[in-house]
Amino acid sequence: MSLAPVYHGPVRTRGLVIFDAVSVTAFALVSVWVATRLGAPSEGSIGWIGLGALAGLAAADLATGAIHWIGDRCFRVSTPWIGRVLIQPFREHHGDPAAITRHGFLEVTGNNALLLLPVLALMAWFAPVFGHTAGASFGLAFLGAFAAAAVLSNPIHRWAHMRRVPASVAFLQRHRILLSPAHHARHHQGAHRTHFCVVTGWMNPLIDGLGRFRKRKPALSAAERPRATGSELGRA
């Protein structure tokens, strides 16, 4: 569903609201600071910046797909430590896909903003050499696009569930630059076994292909199968 899932709990405490507001504000302020530290791009670096930005967008899409796959396919809501906080939001989204449209911007963005601060710190470190070499241009554009797309992964996912979106968002959805409602609807049809990526959807063929490859792996023979221990046999 997102880089970091949102906890769709029934009660949103004042502490959580403040936590999300501080996280998003910190992300915005550090982004502006990083931008002021960026070196001027040379003419020859423009192509590398474009390539880096595209790769960063694709990497953010892939990251959301991988995390969503784990959230949907692994563990249980009852799993200690992570079940309620990390797994439940993914399972709840299947039961009530429209619930995400009823959550505010801060609520769906706060966790991701906090998690991505180290990426901005890395960018700040390398920012002065931006545009000096092909590698620095590509790398910083990659990190910038990754951080921007990942921090907005929940709002982008939410737009794919909304009946009405701003015209600019609808344009980007139509041109497959942002996740389109029709593309994401395939995840919510059937058993939620495909189309896990929620930023652009570009990387879904890769994640879906890996899933099919996993299914095609031949079953182990009885002799190859690891022997279950007593404690494993006792699990539900």
* Comparison of 59 and 207: residue with beta carbon closer to Zn ion: 207
Q: Report the C-alpha gap between 68 and 12 in whole angstroms.
A: 23
How many residues sit in the footprint of Zn ion (CB under 5 A)? 2
Query: What's CA 98's distance to the chain center, in Å?
Result: 18
Residue number, nearest CB to Zn ion:
72
Using the rule CB under 5 A, give the single segment among 26-34, 47-55, 68-76, 143-151 that binds Zn ion: 68-76
* Comparison of 20 and 72: residue with beta carbon closer to Zn ion: 72
Using the rule CB under 5 A, give the single segment among 3-11, 36-44, 70-78, 214-222 that binds Zn ion: 70-78
* Comparison of 23 and 154: residue with beta carbon closer to Zn ion: 154
* Comparison of 183 and 192: residue with beta carbon closer to Zn ion: 192
* Comparison of 72 and 208: residue with beta carbon closer to Zn ion: 72
Single out the residue of 192, 201, 203, 207 in contact with Zn ion (rule: CB under 5 A).
192
**Token couple for 21:** 């507001």
**Token couple for 173:** 């959805």
User: What is the total residue count of the chain?
Assistant: 236
Q: From the CA atom positions of the chain, what is the Rg in Å?
A: 20
Minimum Å distance from CB 213 to Zn ion? 20
Minimum Å distance from CB 231 to Zn ion? 30
Dihedral sign computed on CA atoms, order 82, 85, 16, 149? positive
Single out the residue of 20, 61, 72, 92 in contact with Zn ion (rule: CB under 5 A).
72
H helix runs in the chain, sequence order: 14-37, 46-73, 88-95, 105-115, 117-126, 134-151, 153-159, 167-174, 181-188, 204-216, 230-233
Q: Report the C-alpha gap between 65 and 203 in whole angstroms.
A: 8
Query: How far are the Cα atoms of 20, 57, 64, 105 from residue 28, in angstroms, in the given order?
Result: 12, 19, 21, 14
* Comparison of 61 and 72: residue with beta carbon closer to Zn ion: 72
Does 92 participate in binding Zn ion (rule CB under 5 A)?
no
Using the rule CB under 5 A, give the single segment among 31-39, 162-170, 189-197, 204-212 that binds Zn ion: 189-197
Residues engaged in binding Zn ion (CB under 5 A):
72, 192
